[in-house]
């Protein structure tokens, strides 16, 4: 099929590259000419596994880059809107970019098109897009609106797209449904999975995904409800972790106990310093705003948000209790992105903690495999950036693990122990087994598990007693 994807941000770029790999002819549209030129010359603006390979495979062939939205619309059978919907001060989603695209599309609808919401949008956005396109002169018989929410996790977005749990499509008639079935046919038929050059199947993938056809309003709500539920699961286990610390229980054992219940499952039961990124914080605010507009006080969402913010404060309090005073302390910080596998720092708990530590007079030497360049743009002056984890740890009074990168879970602990000033690790992502850390001479503090102190009872190299 001929497909236009509007917006070359995270969702748009992954969507366009994956559609091209499914065999469609894709035009990726953006109004930023510098970004388009960079994409044409081989630049990949985001850190995403398999995305560079897909762009290299299809650039100049099945995927092209253009700043002409109307020309792309005329040439396409389906137009996917994947522009940003950032939160306003009130928490509502800013729909001005979506509206602008809808107005411009209307002047180029000269044959039947399906205009697809791919951005995360509030309920009834489909109706507004339909109204705007009509108001700007399009023939009502020549277009339909569909809602096709994305469920992409940063760091695994390509495999999430190509090996999804489900594909949700919200339409109001069979004509539009048939177009969307054709768009995703390579996945639902299993054809893509038989190709020798298909992106490798992740372990969790079961088989061809189920295509769920709903009303447009239901599809829009599915996206918000899914993200709200996952954020609630994260906040719930973080609240449980806090109780575990109070009573001396081990949250990992608790997670094993409740995660084996098939009604609950183990995924997203990972205690830590809280969620971040571009989706959960924004989507919870937008979902709450939708509920409030409809007259429903969704207080559960407010508590999910409160627990997430409290989790960062609790971790900072733990750092204080372990180190006693923070002013002048040198901290090796591992991780700046909001999660492993991405360079996205939006709403990153790691960055928020670094900023608080700097306010309290700490000296921070930080390392992240992908997010340092972005972090340099927003962090205050004075942060030292290291070329690897070991340089960040050199001479540190304590090491803080704030992002769950795989390489941070596989550090050479003997080497690390020889570099630090004091053998203290505060792990905000529970990457290590406490017994293994004490065996290597570290005093180890994690989330929801009892502290594990080395046999030296927290004594540093100088022989002075560490506060634990």
Return all residues near 91 (Cβ < 8 A) that are at least 6 apart. 285, 286, 288, 289
**Residue 259: Cβ-neighbour burial (10 angstroms; 0-12, 13-18, 19+):** middle
Total number of residues shown for the chain: 468
CB count, 10 Å around CB of 59?
A: 17
Residue 186 corresponds to which tokens in the numbers above? 């390579």
**To which residue do tokens 């399906």 refer?**
114
Question: What is the rounded CA–CA span in Å between residue 354 and residue 365?
Answer: 10
Q: Which of 244, 279, 362, 454 is catalytic?
A: 279
In sign, the C-alpha dihedral spanning 220, 221, 222, 228 is: positive
**161 within 8 A of 15, measured Cβ to Cβ:** yes
In three-state secondary structure terms, 372 is helix
Q: Which residues pair with 452 in a beta bridge?
A: 444
Q: Is 25 helix (H, G, I), strand (E, B) or coil?
A: strand
Helix ranges (DSSP H) in 248-348: 251-259, 280-293, 299-323
Known active-site residue 454:
no
Cite the active site residues: 279
């Amino acid at each position: 099929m001929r497909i236009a994807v509007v917006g070359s941000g995270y969702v748009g770029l992954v969507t366009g590259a994956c559609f091209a790999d499914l065999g469609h002819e894709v035009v990726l549209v953006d109004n930023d000419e510098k970004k388009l030129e960079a994409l044409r010359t081989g630049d990949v603006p985001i850190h995403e596994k398999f995305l560079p390979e897909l762009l290299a495979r299809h650039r100049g062939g099945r995927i092209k880059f253009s700043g002409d939205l109307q020309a792309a619309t005329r040439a396409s059978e389906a137009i996917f809107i994947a522009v940003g919907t950032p939160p306003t001060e009130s928490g509502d989603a800013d729909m001005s970019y979506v509206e602008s695209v809808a107005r411009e599309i209307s002047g180029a609808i000269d044959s039947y098109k399906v205009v697809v919401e791919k951005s995360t949008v509030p309920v009834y956005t489909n109706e507004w897009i339909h109204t705007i396109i009509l108001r700007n002169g399009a023939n009502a018989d020549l277009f339909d609106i569909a809602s096709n929410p994305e469920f992409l996790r940063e760091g695994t977005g390509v495999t999430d797209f190509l090996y999804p749990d489900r594909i949700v499509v919200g339409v109001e008639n069979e004509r539009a449904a048939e177009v969307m079935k054709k768009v995703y046919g390579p996945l639902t038929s299993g054809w893509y999975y038989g190709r020798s050059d298909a992106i490798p199947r992740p372990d969790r993938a079961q088989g061809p995904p189920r295509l769920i056809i709903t009303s447009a309003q239901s599809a829009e709500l599915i996206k918000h409800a899914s993200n709200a539920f996952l954020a609630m699961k994260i906040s719930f286990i973080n609240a449980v972790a806090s109780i575990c610390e109070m009573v001396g229980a081990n949250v990992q054992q608790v997670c094993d106990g409740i995660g084996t219940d098939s009604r609950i499952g183990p995924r997203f039961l990972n205690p830590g310093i809280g969620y971040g990124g571009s989706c959960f914080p924004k989507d919870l605010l937008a979902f709450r705003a939708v509920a409030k507009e409809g007259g429903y006080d969704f207080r559960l969402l407010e508590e999910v948000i409160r627990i997430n913010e409290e989790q960062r404060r609790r971790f900072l309090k733990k750092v204080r209790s372990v180190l006693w005073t923070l002013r002048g302390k040198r901290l090796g910080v591992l991780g700046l992105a909001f999660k492993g596998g991405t360079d996205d720092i939006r709403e990153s708990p790691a960055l928020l903690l670094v900023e608080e530590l700097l306010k309290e007079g700490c000296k921070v030497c930080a390392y992240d495999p992908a997010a340092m360049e972005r972090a340099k743009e927003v962090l205050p002056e004075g942060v030292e950036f290291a070329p690897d984890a070991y340089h960040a740890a050199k001479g540190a009074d304590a090491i803080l693990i704030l992002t769950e990168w795989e390489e941070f879970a596989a550090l050479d602990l003997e080497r690390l122990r020889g570099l630090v000033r004091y053998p203290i690790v505060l792990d905000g992502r529970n990457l290590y087994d406490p017994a293994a850390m004490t065996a290597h001479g570290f005093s180890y503090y994690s989330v929801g598990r009892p502290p594990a102190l080395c046999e030296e009872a927290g004594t540093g190299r100088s022989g002075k007693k560490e506060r634990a």
